[in-house]
Amino acid sequence: MLVLETLTRHTDIPVASALLIGSPVRGSLAGRRFGRARFGRWMMGASAACWEPRAARWTRAAPLGVLAGSVAIGLGRMVGRLPGVNDGVVRLEETEVEGMAASMLVPEPHSWMPVSPSVARLSERFLRTGSFA
């Protein structure tokens, strides 16, 4: 979410393409639920506002790709079942960005996406071509 906002605000930073992997750019229900508990508020500190619902928009000419997971295994389950398609931490609709060039749902849980060979292949393809196809 910070990367998206930074690149949107600072158009002087050159971008050929950008990719978000399981990023809750529209806020996080799991994060808000976690922040309701005393321990959660303490752990989150000033970052609690990052989990509130918000709009996400990409206005740059460079293509933005979004990968979202669909295997609901993750720490987000500690705060209750997440509705809809999710990766165990982030819900699909929390990853959607207005103006994105492409998005893809991958059969991975949130914490496994950074080490997933299929996510690596899709990432490489998108960053090289601007498409997941």
**Both tokens assigned to 123:** 């990432």
What pLDDT, on a 0 to 100 scale, did the predictor assign at position 107?
98
User: Is residue 116 domain-resident?
Assistant: yes
More confident residue, 94 or 81: 94
Across 74-81, average pLDDT: 77
Q: Which residue range is the domain that position 121 belongs to?
A: 2-26+56-129
Q: How many domains does the chain have?
A: 1
Report whether pLDDT(1) > 60. Answer: no
Residue 43 domain flag: no
- pLDDT tens per residue across span 87-112: 999 999 999 999 999 999 999 999 99
- Asked if residue 46 belongs to a domain, the reply is no
Whether 38 is covered by a domain: the verdict is no
Q: Which of 29, 119, 133, 34 is nearest to 82 (CA)?
A: 29
- High-pLDDT (> 70) share of the chain, %: 98
More confident residue, 1 or 129: 129
| 42 lies in some domain | no
- Is the residue at 115 inside a domain? yes
> How big is the CA angle at 42 (ends 38 and 45), to the nearest 5 degrees?
130
Q: CA 7: distance to chain centroid?
A: 15
Instruction: Confirm whether 41 is domain-assigned.
Output: no
pLDDT top residue among 38 and 91: 91
Q: What are phi and psi of 68, to 5 degrees?
A: -130, 145
